[in-house]
Structure 1
């Protein structure tokens, strides 16, 4: 029994070390790819800059593409978690906070953001799934704030999806051609959301747009 227990403990520690090592490699990769495109770094470049053997990256991620997608997924997980949190806040604060977090993500992870929105490693099902997860998290956050629930009718959902798609394109242009501050960009997107919510109400009065909220500070 003691030997069996020791074996289980050893396997558990090995699993924990492996998970920690994988997380460490992803953290390194997030820094390397923060504003560098997928094609700009070879596996040799990555291994050299990360100070690890190239074989270690292959061991955990099988390929450069697998490594990059793991990095993107990890980065996006932070954004999705952020968007889904803060339920105790007033609706207008949650909207501002979510949009500000979205813009911060795009600023801080420009290469990953471009990959999610416009491709970069081949716009395949995995990349689409990452993008769709972000969209659904943002739509759910806005719906909760505007209507008190995330399950909404197709017309209301389409109106919010259309707004999110506009946000994606505008944010891409914003990081490519910086000219507006993040605060100004956030306020512009918040006001355009108000327009989308009023359009939804006009077409379906059962989804009234929340009254404009005044924010202090």
Structure 2
């Protein structure tokens, strides 16, 4: 039996279903018909909210990116190493809990579609701004080091998800040490 939901609640429901499906399977294996069936709505209603599967996927990606940014938001009241560890813990949680979606976003979708790439680039820029601000550095060297580190952490997480040879703590500590070394951070 169908449940009547407000427009906003229905959209949230569809995106939540999409997030679960895209996190568990590659893009090509997620079918709009299945999403509609799970939500107990017609395919036409789903297309009322999202004109295409790509539009649906982009909405899911945008919601997930907002979640990731919210989860990794720094606490400026903490010393830099603690901010970094908290952000890395949240990032690793996200990567583990949304493994397929994380891999899809970082391996294929960003290379295939300009609009998805724009979302990805905007997210990286937000991470970069946050980290540079936390470092209290505004020089070009810090920006380059942080951008390089963001590529490093992405690569490390993808490798770790495929081959969990290191413990989560080892991955976190490796990433933290690498950033602090790259920017020349010295604890006082």
- TM-score, normalisation: structure 2: 0.87
Asked whether 1:167 is paired with 2:162, we answer: no
Sort the Cα spacing of 1:115 and 1:63 in 2 relative to 1 into closer, same or farther, 3 A.
same
The correspondence for 2:174, drawn from 188, 195, 203, is 188
8 Å CA contact retained: 1:83, 1:141? no
The alpha carbon displacement at 1:116 in A equals 2.4
2:62 — aligned with what?
A: 73
- 1:190 Cα deviation after fit: 0.6
Gap change, CA 1:192 and 1:122, over 3 Å in 2: closer
Give the superposition deviation at 1:122.
Answer: 5.7
Identify the match of residue 52 of structure 2 among 63, 71, 80. 63
Misfit runs of 4+, over 3 Å? none
2:187 is matched with which residue? 211
> What's 1:138 paired with?
127
Residues 54-86 of structure 1, C-alpha deviations (whole Å, 9 max, x = no match): 112111011111111111110110111233342
Structure 1 unaligned regions, length at least 5: 1-15, 199-208, 213-217
**Does structure 2 retain, via aligned residues, the 8 Å contact 1:116–1:130?**
no
The verdict on how the C-alpha distance between 1:175 and 1:51 changes in structure 2, with shifts beyond 3 A counting, is farther
* Map of 2:112 onto structure 1: 123
Match of 1:203 in 2: none
| 1:38 lines up with 2:27 in the alignment | yes
The answer for unaligned runs of 5 or more in structure 2 is: none
How much is the aligned-residue C-alpha RMSD, in angstroms?
Answer: 2.1
**How far apart are 1:121 and its partner, in Å?**
7.5
Who wins on radius of gyration, i.e. which is larger? 1
* Alpha carbons 1:35, 1:110 under 8 Å: kept: yes
- Of 54, 72, 92 in structure 1, the residue corresponding to residue 81 of structure 2 is 92
Q: CA deviation at 1:90?
A: 2.1
Aligned to 2:100: 111
